[in-house]
Amino acid sequence: MDFKLTDEQQMIQAAARDFARDEIAPVASEFDASGEFPLATIQRMGELGLMGIEVPEAYGGAGLDTIGYALAMMEVSAADAAHGTIMSVNNSLFCNGILKHGTEEQKQKYVRAVATGEEIGAYALTEPQSGSDAANMRSRAVLSDDGSHYVINARKSWITSGPVARYLVLFAVTDPDAGARGVTAFLIDAERDGYHRGKTEPKLGIRASATCEIELTDYKCPVKDRLGEEGQGFKIAMGVLDAGRIGIAAQAVGIAQAAFDASVEYARERKAFGKEIGSFQMIQAKLADMRTRLDASRLLTLRAAWAKMQAAETGGRFTAEGSMAKLFASESAMWIAHQAVQIHGGMGYSKEMPVERYFRDAKITEIYEGTSEIQRMVIARNETGLR
């Protein structure tokens, strides 16, 4: 076993770290306060290849591997988790699924636009009545009589980047009697007739990553914009989420790293009872546990990224590795951010420092792309084979 990163992995890590320090960290708190979408930095990230890290250069991406993607996500999310969210949806949920299941024409059109940062992508699975029970969707797609297009009527909620996304991967039922096997994936263009954006969600954290409802009314989707075959949609959705969860695990590691670094610095400087608080055993115990959970999260995340790379060669799955990484890293990030607030005392509760933002941002990693409860279910099902 070799823990050494390749030259390319070190290069993307350093590039993401420099960009995050110089261009994201200085504006993170301002965008968190306003809730405005950080379009300028996202477009710059696209120019640098950060919106399509695993996308081959032929489709406008950086052509790197999943470990490189996870490392870059950690760096960006340490500066600002909201930028990390937007980056993860473009990379994992949008580009990844089209690369795997799309036609050459779809890759040239949709992947290129999002990987280069010219357009923003989104992933529309969740509906008002179906979050964790993703197969229980009501959105309908009906093939037209002449077989040229589908007529889609859909209502999707909690769509990350929805207010600004031009293109979406959207899931709808084509065969209502077939359950999960009756779901089909479609590529949607927000500029076509029948596409409407609904209310924007006011959120606790990742506030600069805009989230809204989407409604499609008699939207005509050309058959060439169907992703994969009819009835394959649920498996496409699940496979895409397997990869997406590695990105969210990496995001959680980034948030946890930022919270940990701030705590070490504060423990070195802040004095109480005539000493630096870092010399008190109760603070030392917190820092030791934080660092250990942080490293374990990072290792699980990189292991999952490696498993995805192996699966690409063998055709196997990496579902459990992705779920374990997301489960552990997200719960650790929440715990580490909680400890960081405690170590900072009153300053941890103040908006003058970023620690309270890490605390708010960490929470979403336990919820989106499958709650911790869903990850536990996926991991246990994988072990027992029982449903």
Compute the radius of gyration of the chain from its Cα atoms: 21
Footprint of ligand CAA on residues 268-327 (CB under 6 A)?
Answer: 319
Only one of the segments 120-128, 140-148, 263-271, 346-354 lies at the binding site for ligand CAA (rule: CB under 6 A); that segment is: 120-128
Residues β-bridged to residue 366 = none
Please report where in the chains the tokens 């709650």 appear, as a residue.
Answer: 371
> How many Cβ atoms from other residues are within 10 Å of residue 128's Cβ?
11
Please report where in the chains the tokens 């979408």 appear, as a residue.
Answer: 37
Biggest alpha carbon–alpha carbon distance for the chain: 82
Contact with ligand CAA (CB under 6 A) among 41, 116, 160, 174:
160
The amino acid that residue 49 corresponds to is G
Decide if residue 121 touches ligand CAA (CB under 6 A).
Answer: no
- Nearer CB in complex with ligand CAA: 216/374: 374
The three-state secondary structure class of 47 is helix
Spatial CA neighbour of 218 closest among 265, 287, 150: 150
- Nearer CB in complex with ligand CAA: 54/369: 369
52, 110 Cβ separation under 8 angstroms: no
Joined tokens for residue 139: 């959105």
Distance CA 95, CA 116 (A): 11
Decide if residue 89 touches ligand CAA (CB under 6 A).
Answer: yes
> How many Cβ atoms from other residues are within 10 Å of residue 34's Cβ?
11
Decide if residue 370 touches ligand CAA (CB under 6 A).
Answer: yes
Decide if residue 369 touches ligand CAA (CB under 6 A).
Answer: yes
Mark out the alpha helices in 20-168 (DSSP H runs): 25-34, 39-47, 66-79, 81-88, 97-101, 104-106, 112-115
Decide if residue 135 touches ligand CAA (CB under 6 A).
Answer: yes
Q: Is 142 exposed, middle or buried (0-12, 13-18, 19+ CB in 10 A)?
A: middle
Number of residues this chain uses to bind ligand CAA (CB under 6 A) = 25
> Cβ 158 to ligand CAA, closest distance in Å?
6
The amino acid that residue 110 corresponds to is Y
Decide if residue 10 touches ligand CAA (CB under 6 A).
Answer: no
Footprint of ligand CAA on residues 208-247 (CB under 6 A)?
Answer: 234-235, 238-239, 241-242
**Pick the catalytic residue: 54, 276, 369, 383?**
369
- Nearer CB in complex with ligand CAA: 4/387: 387
Residue 56 backbone dihedrals phi, psi, to 5 degrees = -55, 150
- Nearer CB in complex with ligand CAA: 44/235: 235
Contact with ligand CAA (CB under 6 A) among 94, 266, 359, 368:
368
In the residue annotation, 369 being an active-site residue is answered as yes
Decide if residue 100 touches ligand CAA (CB under 6 A).
Answer: no
Decide if residue 127 touches ligand CAA (CB under 6 A).
Answer: no
Contact with ligand CAA (CB under 6 A) among 143, 180, 264, 347:
180
Decide if residue 132 touches ligand CAA (CB under 6 A).
Answer: yes
> Cβ 126 to ligand CAA, closest distance in Å?
5
Contact positions vs ligand CAA (CB under 6 A): 89, 93, 123, 125-126, 132-135, 158, 160, 180-181, 234-235, 238-239, 241-242, 319, 368-370, 374, 378
- Catalytic residue numbers read 369
